[in-house]
Chain A
Amino acid sequence: MPDELDLLQGTLDVLVLRALSHGPRHGYAIAQWIQDNSDGTFRILDGALYTSLHRMEEKGWAEAEWGTSERGKRARFYELTPAGRAELQLRTTRWERYVNAVAHVMAAPAPA
């Protein structure tokens, strides 16, 4: 992992919400999905990931239930609630606005 970036505060939540938006997942699957799709640009401590998941359950964004993993092991699965989906939408919009604004500034001509 050559160019690791520190994750911006709160961005982990968006990533987790996004990971869950495709259907129920257990914690390890989410960790893998994030790692695979970020090209190893940043590093997330798995502990932080699980804390984020349990917080989401507390906030009512996700529901947890015990189920069986692909390899037949007992695992805890998380599923988005309608409130979680709404939250994801809200945060996605906010994130895009933020990225666009930063990009806009970066591409702007030099100050007069």
Chain B
Amino acid sequence: MARPTPAWRRYLRFSGPDIASDVDEELRFHFEERIEELLAGGLSREDANARALAEFGDVAATRTQLERIDHRILRRRTVLERLLVLRDEVRLALRRLVRQPAFTVPAVLTLGLGLASVAVAFTLLQSILLRPLAYPEAGQLVSLASPMPKLGDVWGIARHQLPYYKEHVRAFEDMALFRGRQVTTAGDGVFPAERLVAASVSASIFPTLRIGPELGRVLRPDDNLPRVGTVVVLSHDYWMRRFGGDPGVIGTLLTIDGTAREIVGVTPRGASLPDRPVELWMPDYIDPAAPPINNHVRSAVARLRPGFTASDAEAQIAPLVVRMDELFPSAYPNHWIRESGFRTSVTPLRDEVVGATVARFLWILFAAVWLVLGIAIANAANLVMVRAEGQRREIVMRTALGASRPIMLLHFVTEGLVVTMLAALVACGLAAVVLGVFPALAADTLPRLSEVHFGLGTVGLIVAVALLTGVGLGLIPLTHAKPDSEALREGSRTLTASRTRMALRHLLVVGQVALTVVLLVGAGLLIRSGLRLRAVDDGFEARGVVTLDVALSPAAYRSYDAAATVYRQLAERVGAMPGVQSVGFAEALPLSGEQGCTSVVAAAVGDGPRRERCVATMHTSPGYFETMGIEVRGRTPDWADAVRHVGGVVVSPALARRLWPDQDPIGQSMRCCRGGDHWDRVVGVTGEVHLTSLDAPPDEVAYFAIVPPDSAPTNNWPLDVRMVVRAPTLTAAAIQSMAREAMAEIDATIPVSQARLMTDVAADSMARRTFTLILIVVAALMALLLSAVGLYGVIAFVVGQREREIGVRMAVGASAGQIGALVLGQSLRLVTAGVVIGLGGALAGTRVLASLLFEVSPTDPLVLALVALGVAILGLVASGVPTVRAVRVDPVTALRGD
């Protein structure tokens, strides 16, 4: 039977198992035993050898196989052992960390905050900016536009460009035109009349975007030809909402804007235009026989053939554009193409959808959160150092007792990793929560918000950063592990921490403060821009005004008079209701982003593209200026003028200045919208109004009367208008129900909807700016908080370290004031160094903000000064508590031996 292995044998295992010799030894034992037995049975040694070999089989092959098996066993065992060691280390590290909450909690929370902000910013960047659009092979999609450098304007694409480019641009596999528009679907007793977003498209949009039908068919090219009976394709959502997903709906009629259209198909869930969701797809009318006109108002998208880029396409289009003067003389008389500098730009569709400003903002935010993370890591490093200082004697002791460097490394790196992994966990939780409420928080201020999701990529990034940070943090205590006889001496306490370690710690604080200054300067500049914008006079009085959408059916209202009559009756009825001061109508609201533009011509100046800049034009009813609080010099057309077709234009000062420099615009004549021979008289001038946005100069606007003179073009009467009601004491809902009641008595089929406060409309125009401002400010405040905590930590530690020195000073007669000055002086030096470096960084770095700023220079001295002062004050506050502690040091206690 077996006896226990002799003790000396065990040491053999320390040299590591030698598999080959083990197998040899096992087999040798077998043969020796067998041969001995056979010899005892009377065989000769030769026969015994031969017999034993024969009984065994192929010795060499068996040996190889055994070694192979043993290698496999060894490999698995090593991995397992390592995992077990690691598990134990992790368990021990966790136990140590739990016992020291004063270190663990701030370290995990700081890093967690830093990592969470990186996670949020990365998710936004990734899902908005980097991820392809939700179309098959979306990278091949491009957007087209018409920049005209000489007019300082960018237009869309005209209908005649579609067949022209489709035929001649080799880089395009397909191309399509689209525009969004609001339509009204008729009610049917169960379902009320609705205002919906419809896409008016060329049929080629479907192959271009690769959208197929879910049911029925999508649009065909011949649907784009003008004819009477016409069709519509429903979106999946509208089909479900209105028809409960009934397949029988194909072939039935849906009345849209007063025209019955045959439903021919349904698009799959999620199918939409690149820049907006779509409920209905309707064919745009593209008549090849119609003479081309200079009307570049459609958006265009094209799909590149594989191997072609956007700039290839642009290069192929350039020679085509040059020839457009002679090919389409009806659209471009008088060398218009050349005179205006008209060309066609081709950009990747995703860039167009996201927009340069948003892209820039997202990159800035992404950079800002790395600064925040940097501050957080500096904080954690500081905490680790302070802790290592406390563990120093233990570390040196362990080293002296023979703990090898790899073992110490494992110990501390595991600890660092446990801290950062906990932080990563906190970060992922925080980020998931923030990103969960994000779409609601950000509502429409950023594109592609519905595509923002907390994903695996983000988790991967966070874990990777946490791993790196953890290893880095774990290496810090090892710098304290140098054998140091002084540290081991009984009761020793070096008066101050080692010079290099202290310098490193100071460097961390200075770095933190510098990063904070950079972030705060950025945030400060954005805040100052916001304040400047708020101070801009928009030229109207939004308070007390409610707006409503009123949409007349083009089929039922076929003249200026017919439309104007409805508006007049509605204005009279609503205007007579209690609490209502005035009522008016216009085709677009200021700051709502819905204003289109057309070219206008003044009689006094000759034609030519330079004079034809695109100008905001709209029909406005009597009462509009009064209701909106827009000042007018001269007069405005009234309802009596409307009945008598008198006309009359009111212009904005910006337009007047350009068309009639140094002259009184009132009494001048102007013409709009390729209006043939129709000249209209200017009767009034408004105050400056910001129609498109507050951060652009005041707009050039021409307000035409609700009914123009009889000579005007007769296809342009306003059907889709915004009603404005000034009634400061009434709610939007109350005004909407009053207006609906009044409308019911005039024409019950006309929907009155979308009651909103004009102040909300104006605020929405600022929403993106406000929201991006908030994000950056939040990042900067986090930085400020984190670096204040860091500064506090270091100063408090320094005071603790110098307690004995302070005691000595007090014992020899230093006053409390002198001690306070000593400690504060040290923090002030650190803060000042940080502020100076930070200001330098800000001067270099904030230039990237320039395009997001409004009337504020990236080096605005006020902001720089305020930030420097603020950070200095905060630095003093953070050092306040430790200073007080230093002043209160009791020399007796401090000097008494340990």
Contacts and interface: CB of A to CB of B under 8 A. Distances in A.
A70 B1 CA distance: 5
B597 interface: no
A27 B9 CA distance: 20
Interface stretch (A13-21, A73-81, A87-95, A99-107): A73-81
Residues of A in contact with B, size category: 20 to 34
A46 B55 contact: yes
B66 interface: yes
A8 interface: no
A9 B65 CA distance: 18
B30 A28 contact: yes
B83 interface: no
B66 A54 contact: yes
B3 interface: yes
B72 interface: yes
A68 B3 contact: yes
Contact of B55 (A23, A45, A50): A45
B26 A50 contact: yes
A58 interface: yes
A104 B27 CA distance: 42
Contacts of A48: 57, 62
B812 interface: no
B33 A67 contact: no
Interface string B1-38: 11111100100000000000010011101101110000
B6 to A, nearest CB: 8
B490 interface: no
A48 B66 CA distance: 10
A40 to B, nearest CB: 12
B62 A47 contact: yes
B5 A67 contact: yes
A68 B56 CA distance: 22
Interface centre among B6, B26, B56, B58 (most CB of A within 10 A): B26
Interface range, B side: 20 to 34
A57 B30 contact: no
Contacts of B25: 74, 76
Contact of B5 (A68, A69, A71, A73): A68
A58 B61 contact: no
B641 interface: no
A47 B57 contact: yes
A55 interface: yes
B66 A66 contact: no
13 contacts: A24-B2, A31-B30, A45-B57, A66-B5, A67-B3, A67-B4, A68-B6, A69-B2, A69-B33, A70-B1, A74-B29, A76-B22, A76-B29
A51 B62 contact: yes
Nearest to B2: A67
A77 B5 CA distance: 11
Interface of A: 23-24, 26-28, 31, 45-48, 50-51, 54-55, 57-58, 65-71, 73-77
Contacts of B26: 27, 50, 75-76
A57 B27 CA distance: 16
A47 B59 contact: yes
Contacts of A67: 2-5
Most buried by B among A31, A47, A67, A73: A47
A55 B3 contact: no
Contacts of B55: 45-46
B5 A47 contact: no
B456 interface: no
Smallest CB-CB A-B distances: 6 pairs: A45-B57, A47-B62, A47-B57, A67-B2, A54-B69, A46-B56
Nearest to A75: B29
B73 interface: yes
A76 B22 CA distance: 9
Given A45-B55, A48-B57, A73 B32 contact: yes
B30 A46 contact: yes
B22 to A, nearest CB: 8
A31 B6 CA distance: 26
Contacts of A57: 69, 73
B741 interface: no
A100 to B, nearest CB: 32
Contacts of B27: 50
B62 A28 contact: no
Given A57-B73, A66-B5, A68-B2, A45 B29 contact: no
